[in-house]
């Protein structure tokens, strides 16, 4: 088991700076769009872009989470949901509760900046953060982190779980991919993606928790997130998934073993 990763905030990425997004194609102005790609836009969409100084075509295979730079120069992320208004309403309700109780960011939850509806699609905006912990493990060649760094991450995650527990909220999808570093130069983190979260006692969906972080008992309420938390700590320490089952049966067999 390797522990070659530095716990220093200053050299956390060894000079690495993550890109904000894949390279979208830049057009200089709306005239360029009209000349080259007007057929890709509706009349309404083309009218909307008239006042923008720079226009990007992200592409038909773009990720569902889109980066943009607002008028104040702040990078944000928009999450758009297709025909999932009921689930989205629960996520917005949960994020609003957590935002009010985590004004100073002490509970390490990514704050919702705003929510709105655009063409019958529910949307949420967040501040754009850095890479997630899975990407950080990958950058470290899956060798695992020093114990001092794992402890920092563990305490930060527990702060989030403390607030969730006090509000009887279950995240249900805790995993390294949903834990984001705030910047490339420190090890401060934010817990993200409350799209599957629900209140204790609330009816929830048949599919919950990613397989490798799923509690074997299934529907066990608030303890779901604690099981995932333990799996995450083991992975951060060793660099490898604790129970890498290929399917649900294999997953349970590995846990029993």
Please identify every residue annotated as catalytic. 173
- The two structure tokens encoding residue 101: 């109780």
Burial class (CB in 10 A: 0-12, 13-18, 19+), 219: exposed
Alpha carbon dihedral 41, 47, 52, 58, in 10-degree steps, equals: -10
Angle between helices 223-238 and 147-166 (to 10 degrees): 170
């Amino acid at each position: 088991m390797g522990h070659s990763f530095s716990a220093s905030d200053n050299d956390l990425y060894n000079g690495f700076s993550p890109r904000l997004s894949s390279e979208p194609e830049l057009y200089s102005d709306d005239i360029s769009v009209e000349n080259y790609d007007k057929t890709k836009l509706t009349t309404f969409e083309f009218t909307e872009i008239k006042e923008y100084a720079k226009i990007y075509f992200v592409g038909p295979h773009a990720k569902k989470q889109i980066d943009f730079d607002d008028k104040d120069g702040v990078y944000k992320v928009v999450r758009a949901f297709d025909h999932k208004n009921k689930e989205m309403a629960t996520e917005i309700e949960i994020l609003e509760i957590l935002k009010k109780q985590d004004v100073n960011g002490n509970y390490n939850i990514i704050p919702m900046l705003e929510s709105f509806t655009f063409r019958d699609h529910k949307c949420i905006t967040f501040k754009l953060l850095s890479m997630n912990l899975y990407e950080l493990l990958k950058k470290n060649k899956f060798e695992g982190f020093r114990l001092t760094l794992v402890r920092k991450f563990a305490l930060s995650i527990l702060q989030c779980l403390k607030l969730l527990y006090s509000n009887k909220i279950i995240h249900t999808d805790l995993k390294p991919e949903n834990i984001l570093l705030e910047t490339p130069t420190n090890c401060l983190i934010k817990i993200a993606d409350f799209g599957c979260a629900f209140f204790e006692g609330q009816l929830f969906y048949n599919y919950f928790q990613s397989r490798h972080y799923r509690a074997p008992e299934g529907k066990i309420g608030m303890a779901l997130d604690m099981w995932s938390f333990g799996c995450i700590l083991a992975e951060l320490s060793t660099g490898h998934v604790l129970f890498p089952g290929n399917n649900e049966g294999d997953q349970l067999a590995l846990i029993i073993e």
